[in-house]
Structure 1
Amino acid sequence: MAPTTAKLENDEELRRLKDVNIDEAPARRQVRDSFKDIQLNLDHILFKTPEDGIKTKESYEVNSRGVEIFSKSWLPEASKPRALVCFCHGYGDTCTFFFEGIARRLALSGYGVFAMDYPGFGLSEGLHGYIPSFDLLVEDVIEHYSNIKENPEFSSLPSFLFGQSMGGAVSLKIHFKQPNAWTGAVLVAPMCKIADDLVPPPVVKHILIGLANVLPKHKLVPQKDLAEAAFRDLRKRKMTPYNIICYSGKPRLRTAVEMLRATQDIEQQLQKVSLPILILHGEADTMTDPSVSRELYKKAKSLDKKIVLYKDAYHSLLEGETDEMIIRVLSDIISWLDDHIALQAD
């Protein structure tokens, strides 16, 4: 089939699937199954990483709260993993699109990579984009990754958190609850504070907090175009609609309030961060505040901490930048992990 014809058919299928109501998990799973081959064949550098030499596994398991959680793993085929990398995805996102390419890179470097979709996101059960409690979400993630780390196959390995955007907030909350459980954390554009221009004025904020108690699932919070704010590379920005199970509607009221409270809580506890951390942030990020990443670096009591700020880069450092920048960020992450594996071995 000619590339132009294939693109037209892909666009038509995308338009058709965009009209499907994916508020609940069964519809999201059906949409993803019918579109995943198209997604993973997009002309994006992340999807050009070969799958050869990697064992992947997808699972659905009901957790202790009775919520069915989707998870995926990528393991080196020929050897035991050198360490575990446990991924915490960003707001609205899933571990089944762009992260596939990131996970492959890590697995080919010898790491066992584990990821899950939070309740209400991606392929996990729950109302799409709805976070009734940030703390419960964090507990769900702790439970899932604790089960993996307790597996005799992996229990002796170093383990790292890898948090992107809101996943950075999840990772830090996990660390506060488990201060000695992790070898280190990689935080990419961490949501330690929501950028000021994304937060409504104080009067509006108080009204929204009140409304969230009455209409928690309603979508009343205004929001600017996230793809435009997150993706600097225009060609890659055009690929964002292909992330069809990403939550792209206006934030639900309770979700917005929970994220705001979580970031305010984290901002007050930056000095409690004690594990080895690598913080990566684009200097032109308008979604999560790079100045708070600087503050995190400065206040964290970790003896082993590093921050890398990328000039002119936007929020989506690993998905929405030039190929050269994406390769650079991935290399920085893998080098840092390699160094910390070596430290563990000494």
Structure 2
Amino acid sequence: MAPDMPGEQHSNVVKYEEEFIQSSQGVKLFTCRWVPADRQAKALICLCHGYGIECSIFMKDTGVRFAKAGYAVFGIDYEGHGKSAGTQCYIKSFDDLVADCATFFRSVAESVEYREKARFLYGESMGGAVALLIHRKQPNYWSGAVLVAPMCKITEELIPPPLVLSILWTLTAIIPTWKLMPTQDITDVGIKDPDKRMELRANPYLYRGRPRLKTAFELLMTSLDIEKRLDEVMLPFLIVHGEDDRVTDPSVSKLLYASAKSLDKTLKLYPNMWHGLTYGEPPEHIELVFSDIIAWLGKRSAAVCPEEPPLETSRNSLP
């Protein structure tokens, strides 16, 4: 990957770098990484961000936390998201989006520096769906996945009535990029902390408009597809989900836990927490969630990761 205007920030503990790459369709995509500055990484974490978000600002705290814990962390802004090229927040094909991520992450995982290390997918919200679909494309490739409030199903209150949906789907073929899809503001219903809500809205790369018709169609079809094929999930995974989430449905995370063929699976539900578990909650809640995630990763990071990662049984955290 030849760098294009790389940005570097150094600290005693974490080194941050940016790089632009070309997708298979010739689209310029932004990538970034946080790596330990003072030691070799013990494993690789590949970030899949949520809808309308990006990696370098919104997921900075996540990247720094993992790098301080000893992980090499790589993220990519999807086409039309963040600093990547493309019509803003327009997903013309979820399959193409997943393929872009899978190709980039595999190029990193197979580099000399990381090819012998355990490799994990990390997906938040819509990024959870991206992670699950990458796993579907590469079923024996990943050591595990951390799924934060994953989009396995969109909650009913965010979906317009059937009659409205029918009209909108008809218009999708005619005006796919139009911002006609009515929905609630995800920032209002997903971020509990008012200061974090203001901070998020100040992010210049946050998408603030209504979902575009084709984007909404792709998200809905993807979530329905994942919901029907939960039993195909085989890799080790940790799901963390707020019980009061009004954006993605905690009950479907329970269904994923119950349906998946994984021998190593853990579900943690957090009472009184919303959708933004790693960003939008009070500091003590965020610390708890990251503590659980890093502990789970730590137990699974020592193994070398060729094609068949080892599986380990763990208990469901549900009562």
TM-score by length of 2: 0.91
Q: In 2, Cα distance between the equivalents of 1:333 and 1:51?
A: 24
Distance, in Å, in 1 between the alignment partners of 2:211 and 2:191 is 19
Question: Per-residue deviation at 1:344?
Answer: 5.5
Contact 2:80 2:88 in 1 (8 A): yes
Match of 1:113 among 45, 56, 73: 73
User: How many equivalent residue pairs?
Assistant: 299
The answer on 1:197 being equivalent to 2:178 is no
Q: Contact 1:318/1:330 (CA < 8 Å) preserved in 2? A: yes
1:288 aligns with 2:248: yes
2:286 matched to which residue of 1? 326
- Asked if the contact 2:118–2:302 (Cα under 8 Å) also holds between the matched residues in 1, the reply is no
In the aligned structure 1, how far is the partner of 2:93 from the partner of 2:196? 33
Aligned to 1:45: none
Structure 1 stretches of 4+ with a deviation exceeding 6 A read: none
1:210 and 2:170 are equivalent in the alignment:
yes
1:139 to 92, 99, 102: 99
How far apart are 1:98 and its partner, in Å?
Answer: 2.6
**Aligned equivalents of 1:66 and 1:225: distance in 2?**
32
Distance 1:288 1:267 in 2: 12
Map 1:85-96 to 2 at 5 A.
85-96=45-56
Instruction: Say if 1:51 and 1:104, in contact at 8 Å, map to a contact too.
Output: no
Deviation at 1:337, TM superposition (A): 0.3
* 2:119 equivalent in structure 1: 159
CA distance in 2, matches of 1:254, 1:199: 14
CA contact (8 A) 1:82 1:111 kept: yes
Question: Which of 51, 58, 62 pairs up with 1:98?
Answer: 58
Unaligned runs of 5+ in 2: 1-6, 311-319
Shift of 1:52: 3.0
Deviations 1:107-135 (A, max 9, x none): 01100000010000000010001000001
1:250 alignment partner in structure 2: 210
What does the per-residue CA deviation read over 1:83-123, in whole Å, with 9 as the maximum and x for residues that have no partner? Answer: 00000000000002131111111001100000010000000
Shift of 1:343: 5.6
Separation (CA, whole Å) in 1 of partners of 2:304 and 2:144: 11
| Structure-2 separation of matches of 1:51 and 1:132 | 39
Q: Secondary structure at the match of 1:98?
A: coil
Per the alignment, residue 228 of structure 1 pairs with 188
What secondary structure is seen at the aligned counterpart in 2 of 1:341? coil
Q: Does 1:311 align with 2:255?
A: no
For the residue of structure 1 that corresponds to 2:285, the secondary structure is helix
- Partner SS, residue 101 of structure 1: helix
- Residue 241 of structure 2 aligns with an amino acid whose one-letter code is H
CA RMSD of aligned residues (A): 1.6
1:85 is paired with a residue whose SS is: strand
Match of 1:194, SS state, is coil
Letter in structure 1 aligned against 2:105: Y
Give the counterpart of 1:277 among 237, 244, 247. Answer: 237
Higher deviation after alignment, 130-139 or 201-210: 201-210
Point out the more displaced range, 51-60 or 64-73. 51-60
Is 1:69 paired with 2:29? yes
Alignment check: 8 A CA contact 2:118 2:303 kept: no
Percent identity between the aligned chains?
Answer: 46
